Homo-oligomer: A and B are copies of this chain.
């Protein structure tokens, strides 16, 4: 029996190359029925095969900026000439459904999320060692030495941001990491600040029953 019925907003982040996407996929494969995701909004052009409202909400830069001004994003980013953001109304819709909303974001998005949603559960995924992540970046194979060094530098700058998160989960084994995230979700539902209203409701009115 779960006292808290509202879904949790769970933020997955971590340094570049740590395998956030793989961990998220393992989490959905294993525990998908209670999880959901939200559709992001972007100003980048639609690619062949993409569907508006499914892959992304595709909007113009003016529309995006208007939404920023209205405070309509949980978090947003500007990357390679385009905006990407998580619309606030999508988040609310997902959480009211009672499912956990899993959000995979860049490390710099975490602070934005915490400002808007104090109750978010933030998880920083880390490699078992610095070298393990370097190896991963080197063996992607599609990038030049310069690009690899750029990504290593980026990861090095991001390693230090762990302290901003609620939890640190090591991605030594992807299923192990997914299991630990699932345990975190279960535990967070039982947190007193999330459970206590329902608990009081469940007890009914003490005075009345005592008579």
**Interface residues, chain A, CB within 8 Å of chain B?**
1-3, 123-124, 126, 128-130, 156, 159-160, 162-163, 165-170, 172-173, 176, 180, 182-184, 186-188, 190-192, 195-196, 199, 202-204, 206, 209-210
Contact = CB atoms under 8 A, between A and B. Distances in A.
B130 A203 contact: yes
A169 B190 CA distance: 6
Contacts of A182: 183
A192 B1 contact: no
Between A1, A204, A206, the greatest number of chain B beta carbons within 10 A of the residue's beta carbon is seen for A1
A162 B130 CA distance: 42
17 contacts: A1-B173, A2-B170, A126-B199, A156-B206, A159-B206, A160-B206, A162-B196, A166-B192, A167-B187, A167-B191, A167-B195, A168-B192, A169-B190, A180-B190, A183-B183, A183-B187, A184-B187
Contacts of A167: 187, 190-192, 195
